[in-house]
Structure 1
């Protein structure tokens, strides 16, 4: 999955003002500035605010952030030995893994309600690593 316009989802914790871009200031009002209401690409706060927003979303859906790798979220499913959904996030790209495909579809639907998402279908590559699947066996 890919989050579209990722950094626009962050909520700012502080007041930030910016000068208007050249050509956008009305004559006689060149000294006026804009107060930002949301994160904007290029701000140093933006990646952190996106991460906080995503973390809050995942926790609200019963996922736990991994202590070993803060980019990985885990959700245990009821009474199953291998009942686990794993979501790995790298900035705006994510890989969702589960034993049951319906669990993957469920989290994809939840994510799509909160964020504009692009479904990239079956993972073939992530972070430079190729993923191969044995179609006959149905395993990676």
Structure 2
């Protein structure tokens, strides 16, 4: 829980304020999960602070909510292309991805249980960025990462809105496929991978998983 609050603070997700007249605050709660590896063994415990999004009102707390995710066929196709070309596939995850999405609406939330500021018990948090389970959180994050990719020379596929390609002056190619907060990438230039990892880590809090071995419930073994 301390780690989650620290991540939210580092990300400049909210600011403590008085609730403006005529506004309602949304409650929050803690959700606890255990994360397992491909062998089914316990990898880590996770605590996530989530908004009670079911209390949001359309036109007041949120507007558009749709966000695309990659189709499993696209991921299979990318894997096949990599295998045919003898390319490696790598994987990275964005830590607390939804906390990176900027909000267009004014959203106020109650202070989290266990982390109420002494002397400011009557105050609420005004969200600058999205929180998990807000109705617009997936869209806010997708808009942010899409803008980032396109500013950094990637071209979005017109047929699969979470698939991006980038080519350098020599014609080398890198392909990135995004699934919510996880991404896999492949191509024929290791230098492009290195630059991509460095740039992503500078912009977001990332976990570099290395070669893809387990993605969306599918185990992958990469050999010559």
State how far apart, in whole Å, the 1-side matches of 2:176 and 2:101 are: 20
Secondary structure at the residue paired with 2:159? Answer: coil
Gaps of 5+ in 1: 136-140
Aligned to 1:127: 216
CA distance in 2, matches of 1:89, 1:36: 25
Superposition CA RMSD, Å: 2.2
Give the distance between the partners of 2:168 and 2:191, measured in 1 at CA.
Answer: 12
Aligned pairs, how many? 132
Normalising by structure 2, report the TM-score: 0.53
Question: For 1:9-88, what aligned pairs fall within 5 Å after superposition?
Answer: 9-21=100-112, 24=116, 30=122, 32-80=123-171, 83-88=172-177
Cα pair distance change 1:21/1:106, threshold 3 Å: closer
> Which digits, 9 at most, give the CA deviation of each residue in 1:22-44, with x for residues without a partner?
673778964x4432122111211
How much does 1:79 deviate?
3.8
Q: CA deviation at 1:109?
A: 0.8
SS in 1 for 2:211: coil
- Tell me by how many angstroms 1:19 deviates: 3.2
Question: What's the counterpart of residue 98 of structure 1?
Answer: 187
Aligned partner (choices 192, 201, 207) of residue 118 of structure 1: 207
CA distance in 2, matches of 1:34, 1:92: 24
Q: CA deviation at 1:64?
A: 1.1
Q: Distance in 2 between matches of 1:105 and 1:22?
A: 41
What's the TM-score once normalised by structure 1's chain length?
0.82
Cα 1:21–1:114 change in 2 (3 A) is closer
SS of the counterpart of 2:199? Answer: helix
Shift of 1:53: 0.5
